[in-house]
Structure 1
Amino acid sequence: MGLQRFRAAIVDLDGTMVDTLGDFEVALNRTLADLALPPATRELVERTVGKGSEHLIRSVLAHQMALPEAKGYGQACPAWTVDSLYERAWALYQHHYLAINGDFSEVYPGVSEGLQALRGAGLALACLTNKPLAFARDLLQAKGLAGHFGQVFGGDSFERKKPDPLPLFKTCEALGTLPEQTLMVGDSSNDAQAGHAAGCGVVLVTYGYNHGEPIRSTPALAWVDTLTDIPVALSL
């Protein structure tokens, strides 16, 4: 099979190139503190990331508001619901995430080398993430990865987010490739579902955030421990 069947690769960001769990945890817990809600555990954040900021915030709010220690706040605010708090929480989260974007995150081993290998094989690269575009661009720049990508798209770039295939179709259009000529590289069933629905080849990394589920149970062309393993994995 090999890389020769592909002309481009679409690469996810959070959990695939950069371990951003620390950024999410800090920004969310500062937001929760501003709302007088108990802090979220790292495990909750890890299970919830990957489907966009709106899903992340709503899911964490719902979980924290249901905790016994949050009941006092709810009694003081009779109209206290996820919907009633969401707009304020979103604004607070944006503020806090912008202030710390990249400060509590690290590039995974082999990412830059793996991206360079894909480019060296003649593949055009695009980053496609459910993270808001402005945050994604700033993070790629801060981590020295921006130069690898001709295109960068975020969760607010299109009408729908992954796992819907629309963002992949649009990214392929921008790259000038057909989906079957394009590789989707991600860390979760979210990426795989979008890739399969679009008709892309799918490669999944064995680290990252897959909603608490083992990633090897998700169908893919290959599962790799580092991006540098992709050329060999696809030749097997």
Structure 2
Amino acid sequence: MSASERPTARIGEETPGHARTADPAARRAEIRGVIIDLDGTMVDTAGDFHAALNRMLADLELPSIDSDELLRYIGKGSEHLVRSVLSARLPADHVEARFATALDRYQHAYAQVNGMHASVYTHVAEGLAALRDAGLKLACVTNKPHRFAVALLTQVGLHAYFDAVFGGDSFARKKPDPLPMLKASEALGLAPAQMLAIGDSENDALAARAAGIAVLTVPYGYNHGQPVQSIDSDGIVGTLLEAARWLHQ
């Protein structure tokens, strides 16, 4: 089932597999800041990943990757992405021996293609503008390396909406660890109970849950190739603009 075919739940409704820890509607009045994921939530970057990985694989004389395989690996940072691709092509005892070279080749390739094959999802800019107009502070928290995140947000015209941007190398641990969420809340001068997180994958939800932050998911991203309805979140929103409208109510 494609992302566009998946049913979208109204915020605050139960969806299959959800074990909600808090009702977002009850916390709406407390929310003063929003943490938003990048890849698969604001920008479709699968084309960039695909191009960079295939440049890396060609350099290493390994079989190329197709889009279906790629979508299973996106979302846990560059190291996990490269290691997963190598693990599917090499014996286990060869993966670590070639990992450092592969990561270096991948990051060099990604720097060259960053944003070239990317597109902003529908109503992202409008949603960010609405959130800012409502007086909310915004942070982008992504597992993408910080320099790539800033460059991409700037290229697609979204960087100015954010008070802070944090990448997978900004802290000692990445999502799904709660540390990036907690540090982003701290950077905005807000408590976790005053925050809302929006993302497309289980990593976003797990990190938010562990940090005590309400979390909404979007149905059009990656989520490691799994349906968004399987994620334990507080609800599914069709777009960032829909999330902003909910918060305005």
Q: TM-score, normalised by structure 2?
A: 0.86
Asked if 1:207 is matched to 2:232, the reply is no
Question: Which string of whole-angstrom CA distances, capped at 9 and with x for unpartnered residues, describes residues 111-142 of structure 1?
Answer: 00001111111110000000000000000000
SS in 1 for 2:181: helix
Q: Distance in 2 between matches of 1:113 and 1:86?
A: 40
| 1:48 CA drift (Å) | 0.3
- Alpha-carbon distance between aligned partners in 2 of 1:123 and 1:82, rounded to the nearest angstrom: 44
Kept after mapping to 2: 8 A contact 1:3/1:231: no
CA distance in 2, matches of 1:21, 1:233: 29
Contact 2:36 2:140 in 1 (8 A): yes
Task: Find the counterpart in structure 1 of residue 60 from structure 2.
Answer: 35
Residue 210 of structure 2 corresponds to 197
61 and 39 in structure 1: CA distance in 2 versus 1, 3 angstrom threshold? same
The percentage of aligned residue pairs carrying the same residue is: 53
Q: Which residue of 2 aligns with 1:72?
A: none
Give runs of aligned pairs for residues 209-228 of structure 1, distance below 5 A.
209-228=222-241
| Greater CA drift, 153-162 or 206-215 | 206-215
Question: Counterparts of 1:235 and 1:173 in 2: how far apart (Å)?
Answer: 24
Partner of 2:123: 110
Per-residue CA deviations over 1:14-34 (Å, capped at 9, x if unaligned) read 000000000000000100000
* Counterpart Cα distance in 2 of 1:3 and 1:224: 15
RMSD: 1.6
- Which ranges of structure 1 fall in alignment gaps of 5 or more residues? 67-78
Which residue is 1:6 aligned to? 31
Q: Secondary structure of 1:177's partner? A: coil
1:47 aligns with 2:60: no
Partner of 2:44: 19
Note the C-alpha offset of 1:41: 1.2
Q: Which runs of 5+ in 2 are unaligned?
A: 1-24
CA contact under 8 A between 1:224 and 1:233: conserved in structure 2?
no
Q: Deviations for 1:42-66, whole angstroms, at most 9, x for unmatched residues?
A: 1111110100100000001111226
Mapped to 2, the partners of 1:120 and 1:216 lie a distance apart of: 30
Deviations 1:52-93 (A, max 9, x none): 100000001111226xxxxxxxxxxxx971101111101111
**Is 1:61 aligned to 2:86, yes or no?**
yes
Structure-1 residue corresponding to 2:166 = 153
The offset of 1:108, in angstroms, is 0.4
Which whole-Å CA distance do the structure 1 matches of 2:107 and 2:201 have between them?
Answer: 24
Deviation, structure 1 residue 100: 0.7
Moved over 6 A (4+): none
Aligned residues: 224
TM-score normalised per structure 1: 0.91
Residues 1:168 and 2:181 aligned together: yes
